Amino acid sequence: MSKPAVFLVSGDIRTGKTTWLRHWMGILKSRGVRFSGVVSLDSTPIDDLNVAKYIQTTVQPNLHLRKLLNVDSQVSIEFEIENGKEGNQPVIKVGRFVFSIYAFNQGMKWLQEGLEHHEMDWLVLDEVGKLELHRGQGFEPQLSEFFTQFKETVELRRAQGKSFPKLLVMVRNELVADFEAQLAARLPEYEVLNFYRLNEHPEFSIPELEPHFGNIKGLILGGGQSRRMGFPKYTIAYQNSLPQWKRLALILGDIVHKIGINIPRNEIENLQNLVSQFYGVTPIEKDSQSQITDISLPEFDSEWHEKYSWEFDSNEFENSGPIGGILSYFDSWNNTEISSLLVVAVDYPLLRDEALKELVEVHRVTKKSVFYFDDSTNIINGLIGVYTYQHLQELKQWFDDGNQSLSRFLKQKAPEIYLLTPQNWSELKSIDE
C-alpha cells in the first residue's frame, strides 16, 4: 500500500492549529522545503521575539478581521469583511460574519497553481469547514474539483516514477466524519491525524514545535452567595442586562473552545430555579459530577453543548473557595485533555475581552502561566489568569498539603510566572473590594 499523500489534521477551534502550521512551514522552509496553498489568519502573526509588540497590535478589535495568506508568496488578502461594509462585492454571510467570495476563489487559485508547479513539496489548505461541508459554499465547488485533479496527478506521477506534493488539510474534529463521507472518494490515500498527537508523527515531529501543542480550556468561577447583595454573584447583571456568567461565557467562547461555569454544589437548587424562571426548562444532571449541560439558550448557537458546561465543586474540594473550583474542573478532565486553563471570576464587571486575549496570547508565546500583577500592592491576581498544566498539578499538591490560598501559591511561584501590568486598571476592580 502506498504511503499517504494527504494528511487530514483535525482539532478543535482556537487551539493554536494555524499558529503551529505557520511555525511548522517556517522551519521547513528554512531547510529548503517548498510550500504552496492558503492559510486563514485570525490576526497579526506571532513574533516570538517581541511579545509586547504582538499584544499591542492584536488586542485591537479592528485587526481581528481574518485574512487569507498565500503561503508561497506571503501575500495576504482581505477574507473577512466588517459587517455592513461589504459594499457591492459578492459575499457569504454566516451569522454576524461576512466573507469575501473573491478571497475563496483566489485561495483555490493559489492551490491550483501550487499543484501545477511541479517543484512544490507541500500543498496546504486551512481550513475546510461548515461552509464547504454543510452548505456547498466557501471553497466549493472548486474544492471538490481540485481534490479530483490532485488524485489524478498523484496517480499519474506515481506511475511515471516522479515526485508529487503532499497535501495537508485542516478540519475541525466534529467535521471529520462529514469530510470523509463527502470528499474522501476524491482523494488518494490519506491519513487522519489528531492535532494534539502531531508531534508523534514522523512527518511532523520537530522538537522546536512541541511547545505549540496544547489544549487551553476556560473556567468561569461563579462564586457563591454575595453577602452584600443577598443572591448568587454569577446571576448579577452589570452590562446589557446579561447575567455575569452569561456575559463571560460569550467572551470566553471567542477565545477558547471549552468553557466550564463553576458554582458551589449548594447552588444547584438556585441554578435550577434560575434557569426554569428565565428559560422555561429544568436542567438535568449529566452524571455523578452533576454537570448540567442540556440548557438551550437563545443567545448561544447550536454548539452550546460542545462548548459550555455547568460545573460543581467535587466532594474533595467543596467549600474551599476559588482553589476548589479550579481543582474540581482540572480533575474532571482526568488531567489528560488539558494543557492549561484560562480562569476568570465573575467578580469583575468591567473586564473586557481584550484583557483575556492578552493573557492567552502571551501564554501561547511564553508557554508560562500568565497573570496580572499590581506592583503597588505586590499582589498577583489568581482569579484572572492562565495556569499551565504543571502549575495546576503543583496547585493540587499545594492543596493536598493543607493550603487553600491562591495568592500565597502564586507568590511562591512568581519566578516561574509571566506577570503583566494591565492596560486599564479599572477592569481589574473587583466588586468584592
Using one digit for the tens of pLDDT, what is the confidence trace for 88-115? 889 999 887 899 999 999 999 999 999 9
CA 124 – CA 21 distance, rounded (Å): 9
Once rounded to an integer, what is the mean pLDDT over residues 387-411? 93
CATH 3.40.50.300 residue ranges of the chain are 6-212
Once rounded to an integer, what is the mean pLDDT over residues 229-244? 66
378 vs 25 pLDDT, higher one: 25
Closest listed residue to residue 68, CA positions, set 24, 99, 30: 99
Q: Is the pLDDT of residue 63 over 60?
A: no
Q: In what order do the strands lie in the sheet with 67-70?
A: 76-78, 67-70, 35-41, 122-128, 166-172, 6-11, 190-194
CATH of range 216-428; options 3.40.605.10, 3.90.550.10, 3.90.1720.10, 3.40.470.10: 3.90.550.10
CATH 3.90.550.10 residue ranges of the chain are 216-428
CA angle (75, 78, 79) in 5-degree steps: 110
- Work out the pLDDT band at 302, boundaries 50, 70, 90: very low
pTM listed for this prediction: 0.56
CA 269 – CA 313 distance, rounded (Å): 14
294 vs 239 pLDDT, higher one: 239
Highest mean pLDDT among 80-84, 179-183, 221-225: 179-183
Q: Is the pLDDT of residue 246 over 90?
A: no
Domain 6-212 class, CATH top level: alpha beta
* Burial classification of residue 124, based on how many CB atoms lie within 10 Å of its CB (0-12 exposed, 13-18 middle, 19 or more buried): buried
DSSP 3-state of 118: coil
